[in-house]
Amino acid sequence: MENFQIEMQIEAQHMQNIFGEHDAYVKKIEDDLDVIITDRNGAVRISGEQRAVNKAAKLVNELVELSRRGNMIQEQNVSYALELSRDDEEDALLEMDSECICHTVSGKPIKPKTMGQKKYIDAIKDKMIVFGLGPAGTGKTYLAMAMAITAFKSHQVERIILTRPAIEAGEKLGFLPGDLQSKVDPYLRPLYDALYQIMGAENFQKNMEKGLIEVAPLAYMRGRTLDNAYIILDEAQNTTPAQMKMFLTRIGFGSKVIVTGDSSQKDLAVGTQSGLDVAEKVLGKIGDIAFIKMTSKDVVRHPLVQKIVKAYEDYESKLSGHHAGTVRKGSAFSGKNRKPFRR
């Protein structure tokens, strides 16, 4: 192997951050790019094949810059940086980091962490209605909440409305409000949690009492017109086509809508069509509506979760391909199996 070397000087205060505990991040870079990285009193030496060394050096520089900006480097940052380096897109890491949506009550900045998340944020800024589609852990709901709270605080909208279908509680329009609310509250908990983290419990309660923030099951949207509001429909894969149409036709002037969902996580009764699937087919060509699809690459939870999501994506893809092939082969319309027409 060609023994090409690059030596870099890294400030001591950033060394531990980018090397990781027990040098875990450096070992990950070494294994992935097939290089050797050594540290001698702040002088970091990278050796190996020239192209791999150049990639590793560029990646380390990106991580150092992230650290200088005050970021705590995590395994997800390193894994995604390696993912970008395979496509020669390392520069995107710093570009994403430069966009801060808002801060949590504890002061933590909320930023897009993947290219898919950045496309999602850009679409939300640009379009009136955005569908954020993808597996769990891609930040669909959390980023939508961050954008909604930012718009609310800057007086771009007068209120925030958060809703989701509550089919686990047997949502029916005939329930009395008190009965339904008490049943669906556990299923709205993820929305409350995000609000508390970004807005703070006290601030949230104050705005909720004023009616400026509303967290309610989808059934409550019927018969209303929602003007000057930021509206988020979560878990949209569990809507029926009628519910989705009802929701989308509630939108009034000055409103922004984000619909999030994961078509692989339906809780609908067998044979029931998802309103999210139908919406994608029906609304895909309308100008002010965007459909942003995120994948396992955009999962920002523990790296093991990313691998689990990817494994299921591959399995379901093979399964659907096999099923489609079986249907085509045994179709009543294929020449081989066509039965003679009888009067």
Q: List, as own/partner pairs, every contact residues 252-255 make where C-beta atoms lie below 8 angstroms and the sequence separation is at least 24, other chains included.
A: 252/225, 252/226, 252/227, 252/228, 253/227, 253/228, 254/157, 254/227, 254/228, 254/229, 255/128, 255/157, 255/226, 255/227, 255/228, 255/229, 255/230, 255/231
Show the low-confidence residues of the chain (pLDDT under 70).
Answer: 1-2, 167-185, 187, 322-343
Summary mean pLDDT of the chain: 85
pLDDT recorded at residue 2: 61
Q: CA 174 to CA 250: how far, in whole Å? A: 20
Distance CA 51, CA 2 (A): 10
Q: What is the pLDDT of residue 293?
A: 95
What pLDDT, on a 0 to 100 scale, did the predictor assign at position 342? 41
**Phi and psi at residue 110, in whole multiples of 5°?**
-105, 115
For every residue of 179-217, DSSP letters joined together read HHHHHHHHHHHHHHHHHHHHH-HHHHHHHHHTTSEEEEE
**Helix or strand holding residue 80 (H, E):** helix 75-86
Say if residue 196 is exposed, middle or buried (CB neighbours under 10 Å; 0-12, 13-18, 19+).
Answer: middle
Report the C-alpha dihedral over residues 293, 156, 251, 280, rounded to 10 degrees: -10
Query: Which residue bears the tokens 């970008």?
Result: 84
What structural domains does the chain harbor? 4-97 (3.30.1370.10), 102-306 (3.40.50.300)
Query: What's the pLDDT at 159?
Result: 95
